[in-house]
Structures are given as structure tokens and as C-alpha cells.
Structure 1
């Protein structure tokens, strides 16, 4: 009997799938105010219409890029969104500028895209994606994605 095409998933993968499928109220994914602290180099803050406030560092956002290429690379290496790539074991590591956007552009009424200083531009950060990956203590304790 062939088991080709049958994919076993762990309990954690099942929790993640449930979290991804969970419906969020419209107010939870609709921003009231968006602040990109590009000049300060600190990150992104969003006040949501449900009264919640979220913030992310630029480093977290770059390491959580939702584009297909970054997502596949993260999955292959077992990293979670926002988790940096392991540093290569070298005697003299090369300096790398911290992640910063050269520009941030709204995508319709549903997302932002960042043009990163490392040349990467293909990630579209939807409001839903950002809210599901809120980095506040309350959300992180409830969120199996992070």
C-alpha cells in the first residue's frame, strides 16, 4: 500500500493551521492609525479599530517577510516568522546594515509593502498577517504562530 501524497502533521502544525483559519473580527484587522518610524529606524506601530495597539521592529518585519520565497526558506529551515536566519560560523563575520525600509507603500486598503535596504521588495504585509503576528505580550502568549 502506497502512502504517497499522505502528509502527516504534528500537533503544533495543526494548532498553527487552526490559528490561520480562525476568523478575526473586522475591527481587529482594520487599522485606525498606522505609524512607520522610518527616520528613527525603530519600526511600525498600528492602532487597530478594536482598541488594540501592535508594534514590530524593522528587523522582525524583514525576518517575517510573507513573500513566497522568504516563506519557503523559513519553512525549510524550521524558523518562525520574525526569527532571524542563523549567522554563518565564520571567524570574521561581515558587517550587515540593520534592516530598514527605503520606502513603505500602501497596497490598496489591505496591506503595506516595504522596499528594504537589502533590495528585497516582494513581501506584502496584509493587515490580517500583521494582526495575527502581533508582538505584544498578550498576543504572543495566545498565538501559536510566534
Structure 2
């Protein structure tokens, strides 16, 4: 991935325009629940530390920072900000009609 990735936040949704033209679509809560930082996942065992019931169904990504040319870091409305989402991981988590047909 490169710096041509474009992130758009729209209320409870996040859109990622990947450099190959794919438009990734995500519910903000789904991304928040998939945070793999050391506050959300025990780094030695991989055991989840984040209780899904503590994440508000109305959570939003308030802002983001690009991390180099490989990832994005979101600032969530619950105050969480330490997770880094590599673009490859975002592609795997994509919830669009092509990636996750119903």
C-alpha cells in the first residue's frame, strides 16, 4: 500500500479508498472491536482484553492519523487511540459487498 490510500469518516462508518481502487467499507464499532493494540489484546498470549459489551454501539472514529505509508491510527469517541491498523489488515476486515457478500 502507499500514501495514495484515502480515509473518509462518516458518522458510524469508515471508508478506505485503497490504491488499487477498492473501496473498503467498515462499521466503526467493528473496527474498534478489532483493535489489536496491547490494551485490547494481551500481547504475550493473544487473549482478548477488550470486553465487547463495553464498546458503545454508537461509537465513532472522530479522527485518524496516517502511520507512515502502511497503516492508520484512529481516535475513537470512547477515548481509545493506541491501535494501529495496517492497510493489509484493513483489507482483510473489509465489510463491503464484494469482500463480505450477504
The residue matched to 2:41 in structure 1 has which SS?
Answer: helix
Q: Size of the alignment, in residue pairs? A: 97
Task: Give the TM-score normalised by the residue count of structure 1.
Answer: 0.53
Name segments (4+ residues, structure 1) moved above 6 Å: none
* Gap runs ≥5 in structure 2: none
The answer on 1:69 being equivalent to 2:39 is: yes
Q: Distance in 1 between matches of 2:57 and 2:92?
A: 28
More helix by share: 1
* Gap runs ≥5 in structure 1: 1-28, 78-83, 88-95, 142-146
Cα distance change on mapping 1:63 and 1:50 into 2, 3 Å: same
More strand by share: 2
Larger RCO (alpha carbons 8 Å, 6+ apart): 2
In the alignment, which residue of structure 2 is the partner of 1:81?
none
Structure with greater Cα Rg = 1
Pairwise CA RMSD = 2.9
